[in-house]
């Protein structure tokens, strides 16, 4: 984040156009607003347009405004986006989704700075605005596919800032999580909240496909549901406990046992334990060893908590007894102690243990 911050400050010192790229939720808009805020234009307006949300018929009027009487319903002159942003910055979001028509209108404006409102027979004025464009698409691919104009790409891409996905800057996770905790605390007026070391390691291990936005939502969701002042593994949503193990090479995939594949399917998909494991087991397509392996992989994820296993394996909380009876009947109920993590601040006590968890017998270790 500090490297990014430097890049943003550098960009703010110049007045050149900026293209910000990165996956969804990485913080492109925040970055764009930061550039404006640090720039000499910060006291000027900041106007944002979602390029994907403007129908082709309204583009010209949106960008350049219209004059009274230019079409049915145009009762008065209306300024367009660029005029509203005079002396300031225009944020063009999702430029990768712009229609070709909008691309050519934008290009013309970038070249001349002239504004010709709809219904006017000549350009009325020139405006000075800075354009910051954002996209989560690879524009180079769009150029190859002829859906994005190459000349426009080079116009927009004077300073290019890439905001990396969260999984490539794991050192930001803890800092961001703490920041979102503080924000939620202010918003909901709760007591100071701490994240347990085990929960933090789940946050660190997760791949965050939704990036910072997803992290923010997870923390907020934890805060509003929290019953005490600690966020533990049990408070985290199931996707964080069941990050799929992706086999990287064909040979690895081939080597992965039936049980591992079943487990991955179970935690990454929407199939429940009953469909993905119980039925094949009863049909003898899965062996007892497979079943034990699936349970053991699950308990590793939930740090030995059987109740969380229900969530991880897409079962209803009411299935608890049925699930345990099934495992007991086929001697596949594993000892959970092996998976529990001992908390440093509470020696000798297993973490994440629910006081309601019934005693679990040791299963056969064969
Ligand atoms: N460094 C950061 N510090 C604090 N909050 C952040 C940071 N980066 C992103 N966020 C927050 O994450 C959320 C998503 O950020 P933003 O809207 O800027 O993402 P985006 O890249 O524009 O996503 P999309 O492509 O989906 O539009 C916002 O709530 C934003 O405030
Ligand atoms: Mg955005």
Atom of ligand 1 nearest to the CA of 216: 12
The strand pair at 89-93 and 194-195 is best described as unpaired
Residue ranges with strand state E in the chain: 18-21, 46-50, 89-93, 114-115, 125-126, 130-135, 159-162, 194-195, 230-231
Give the Cα separation of 139 and 245 in Å (integer). 30
- Residues 6 or more apart whose CB falls under 8 angstroms from that of 23 comprise 136, 165, 211
Question: Among 8, 20, 21, 29, which is best to mutate for testing ligand 1, by the most ligand atoms less than 8 A from CB?
Answer: 29
Pocket lining for ligand 1, CB < 6 angstroms: 1, 22, 24-30, 136, 176, 179, 212-213, 216
Are the CB atoms for 189 and 227 separated by under 8 Å? Answer: no
Within 10 angstroms of residue 180's Cβ, the number of other Cβ atoms is: 19
Rounded to whole angstroms, the Cα distance separating 27 from 46 reads 17
CA distance between the termini of the chain: 50
CA distances from 335 to 294, 330, 365 (A): 14, 14, 9
List the chain pLDDT tens, one digit each, 366 residues.
Answer: 999 999 999 999 999 999 999 998 999 999 999 999 999 999 999 999 988 878 888 889 999 999 998 888 889 999 999 999 999 999 999 999 899 999 999 999 999 999 999 999 988 899 999 999 999 988 999 999 999 999 999 999 999 999 999 999 999 999 999 999 998 888 877 778 899 999 999 999 999 988 999 999 999 888 888 878 889 988 898 888 864 444 344 434 433 567 887 888 888 777 789 989 998 888 777 888 889 889 988 988 888 888 899 999 999 989 999 999 999 888 888 876 666 654 443 333 333 333 333 333 333 333
Catalogue the long-range contacts made by 219-222 (C-beta closer than 8 Å, 24 or more residues apart): 219/177, 219/180, 219/181, 219/184, 220/180, 220/184
CA distance 129 to 113: 8
């Amino acid at each position: 984040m500090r490297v990014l911050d430097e890049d943003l400050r550098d960009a703010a010192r110049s007045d050149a156009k900026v293209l910000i790229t990165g996956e969804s939720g990485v913080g492109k808009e925040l970055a764009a607003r930061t550039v404006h805020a640090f720039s000499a234009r910060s006291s000027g307006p900041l106007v944002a347009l979602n390029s994907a949300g403007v129908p082709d018929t309204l583009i010209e009027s949106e960008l350049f405004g219209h004059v009274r009487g230019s079409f049915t319903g145009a009762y008065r002159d209306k300024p367009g986006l660029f005029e509203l942003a005079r002396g300031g910055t225009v944020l063009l979001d999702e430029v990768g989704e712009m229609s070709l028509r909008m691309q050519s209108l934008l290009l013309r404006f970038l070249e001349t700075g002239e504004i010709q409102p709809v219904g006017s027979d000549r350009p009325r004025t020139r405006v000075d605005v800075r354009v910051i464009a954002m996209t989560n698409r690879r524009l180079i691919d769009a150029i190859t596919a002829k859906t994005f104009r190459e000349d426009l790409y080079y116009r927009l891409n004077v300073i290019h800032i890439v905001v990396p996905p969260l999984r490539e800057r794991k050192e930001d996770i803890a800092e961001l999580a703490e920041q979102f905790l503080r924000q939620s605390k202010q918003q909901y007026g709760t007591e100071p909240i701490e994240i347990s070391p085990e929960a933090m390691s789940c946050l660190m291990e997760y791949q965050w496909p939704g990036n910072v936005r997803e992290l923010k939502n997870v923390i907020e969701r934890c805060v509003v549901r929290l019953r005490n002042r600690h966020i533990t593994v049990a408070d985290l949503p199931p996707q964080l406990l069941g990050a799929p193990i992706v086999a990287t090479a064909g040979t690895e995939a081939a080597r992965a046992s039936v049980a591992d594949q079943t487990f991955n399917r179970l935690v990454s998909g929407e199939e429940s334990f009953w469909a993905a494991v119980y039925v094949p087991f009863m049909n003898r397509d899965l062996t007892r060893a497979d079943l034990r392996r699936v349970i053991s992989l699950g308990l590793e994820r939930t740090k030995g908590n059987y109740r969380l296993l229900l969530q991880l394996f897409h079962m209803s909380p009411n299935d608890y007894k049925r699930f345990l009876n099934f495992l007991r009947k086929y001697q596949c109920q594993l000892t959970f102690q092996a998976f529990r993590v001992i908390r440093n601040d509470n020696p000798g006590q297993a973490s994440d243990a629910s006081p309601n968890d019934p005693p679990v017998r040791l299963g056969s270790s064969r």
